[in-house]
Amino acid sequence: MNIISGSSNPELASSIAEGLKEKYPSNHSDLIKIEITKFANDEKQIWIKDGFKVRGQKVCIVQSFSKPVDENIMETLLIIDALERLGAKEVSLLIPWMGYSLQDKVFREGEAIAAKVVADLISNSFISRVFLLDLHNPSIPGFFSIPTYHLSAQNLFIDYLKSNNYLENAAIVSPDFGGLKRARNLADLLNLPLLNIDKSRNYKTGVVTAHALHGEAIAGKNAIVLDDVIVSGSTVAKSAALLKKEGAKKVIFVATHGIFCNNGLEVVDRSLVDLVITSDSIIHEINTKKIKYIHLAPLFVAGLADWV
């Protein structure tokens, strides 16, 4: 299986290609050369240079639907079309971060279910299967009409927390009621106590308020806050402030996806959080020591094993 990268995360695509080459040397996995340019009228142009490596072969596209979201989705569709025209045997799509996945339901009459729209675009293209990662709503794979595999980075985070002794004298914390099931699963797996923050968000202003902490005392313990995505950093800041006020020794916020929109990185850097552990599903240039990236390539190499 050869790997082809969109614009969103070429470093991750390259690492996956190297991982496949190392694990399956006889399969001659390569990173396909692609030229992505833009016309003066802002239209994308796709040219797959290594056409001879595509014809009759299995290919996997690696593309996060991150900022610029619409542009990256359109770019992906153009890459798919180019691969189909070159005669690829089958094409898989690996979406580390699925943009629009937070719009998975209708809150007001007249709204679109954007996650379903994106799933339909992919399902109706020349794609054999889709790989997704730690979605906010685990029901989203059902929006696709092609085989879809929902992977989890949980074990990567657990390994990092264990290797740095953060799980000693610790408790798992859900930053809101919606994430309670996810946090409870981790707490049960690690045999750690579970706490929950009573949080509310003003959907007009986006302002987050952390009202109270429910569960046993956190004083003197490491608080491991578990979430799926960091959008603006406000939940990180408010959760850390509340937990420190309650006496937490360290506050470690774990989230698979770090969007950090607007000034999100600054919000995290100025907050009382000790460490934010996220993945390279979305990459940013960071100037803070508070953020640690976990590399996803080994997880995706293992996930692609049955299709190489």
Cβ atoms of residues 91 and 60 within 8 Å: yes
- Residue at token pair 């939940």: 235
Q: Which of 53, 58, 116, 199 is catalytic?
A: 199
Secondary structure of residue 53 in the 3-state scheme: helix
Core vs surface per residue 41-70: b (16+ CB within 10 A) or e: eeebebebeebebbeebbbbbbbbbbbebe
**Cα separation, 260 vs 10, whole angstroms:** 19
The radius of gyration of the chain from alpha carbons, rounded to an integer in Å, stands at 20
The first and second tokens of residue 47, run together, are 């040219």
Residue partners of 158: CB distance under 8 A and separation at least 6: 186, 189, 190
Cβ atoms of residues 26 and 34 within 8 Å: no
Residue 141: φ, ψ to 5°: -55, -25
**Pairing outcome for strands 44-48 and 34-38:** antiparallel
According to DSSP H, which parts of the chain are helical?
Answer: 10-23, 69-86, 114-123, 154-163, 180-190, 234-245, 264-270, 297-303
Catalytic annotation present for 199:
yes
Residue partners of 296: CB distance under 8 A and separation at least 6: 12, 96, 133, 153, 156, 279, 280, 281
Catalytic residues: 199
